[in-house]
Homo-oligomer: A and B are copies of this chain.
Amino acid sequence: MTEKAPLEFYFDFVSPYSYLVSERIDALGAKHGRKVKWRPVLLGAICKALGTVPLMQQTDKSGYSERDFARSARFLGIPYAHPEKFPIASVAPARTYYWLHERDCARARDYAHRVFRAYFTEGRDISDAAVALDLAVAAGADRAQVEAGMQEQAVKDRLRKETDDAVALGMFGAPWIVVDNEAFWGADRLPQIEKWLETGGF
């Protein structure tokens, strides 16, 4: 039996709906024999390239959005506490993710969960390189190695490339999930993704 193509999960670590999907996508993939490629990108850079404004920064919608983030989390049964500092930069954890990913995919996955949960359940400032580093250490990485790794040009280039690739794929918001070339935007598309996986497209 040929292995099915993995789901592609593009996200930003400070996107609430990305966090919600991060708590569900692996189980959803596994149920249908799919692995999931996790790809943190910088939504701010994507929106800048497109000349748009990320939902997280659309202040006219922030009242509704904050309510919807929390309500959507309750609907899905996922813990959520809207961070006091929101939104913040996600460069530090995204770079750290790719440095870890080059060395140990499983550790990088564990790290990504730790970052999301630190921000969206404990309100920790994941934009702070020291926090991003502490979380890598909590995931079992060596502090000195990660600290040096976060500064490597290769890691910076990788994050830029993944962000460019996401734009090329059509991504304009987060999360962006691709199933066999079909793109889905948002945590609210999880039921459609599930049906797509069940039926092979509808």
Provide the residues of chain B in CB contact with A60, threshold 8 Å: 50-52, 172
Asked if B192 and A191 make an inter-chain contact with CB atoms under 8 angstroms apart, the answer reads no
Which residue of the partner chain, among B61, B71, B72, B202, contacts A75 with CB atoms under 8 Å?
B202
Which residue of the partner chain, among B52, B74, B189, B202, contacts A188 with CB atoms under 8 Å?
B189
Provide the residues of chain B in CB contact with A200, threshold 8 Å: none
Describe A's contact surface by its main secondary structure.
helix
- Give Cα A50–Cα B62 distance, bound, in whole angstroms: 13
Which residue of the partner chain, among B64, B68, B72, B185, contacts A64 with CB atoms under 8 Å?
B185
| A189-B188, A191-B191 known; A170+B63 contact, CB < 8 A | yes
Size of the chain A interface, CB-CB below 8 angstroms: 25
- Give Cα A61–Cα B51 distance, bound, in whole angstroms: 12
Contact with B along A72-107 (1 / 0, CB 8 A): 101100000000000000000000000000000000
Interface residues of A in 144-202 (CB under 8 A from B): 170, 172, 183, 185-186, 188-189, 191-192, 195, 202
Residue numbers of A with Cβ under 8 A of B are 50-52, 58, 60-61, 63-64, 67-68, 71-72, 74-75, 170, 172, 183, 185-186, 188-189, 191-192, 195, 202
Q: List 9 A-B contacts (CB under 8 A).
A: A50-B60, A64-B185, A68-B185, A71-B192, A72-B192, A74-B202, A75-B192, A75-B202, A188-B189
Give the 3 A-B CB pairs with smallest separation, nearest first.
Answer: A188-B188, A75-B192, A74-B202
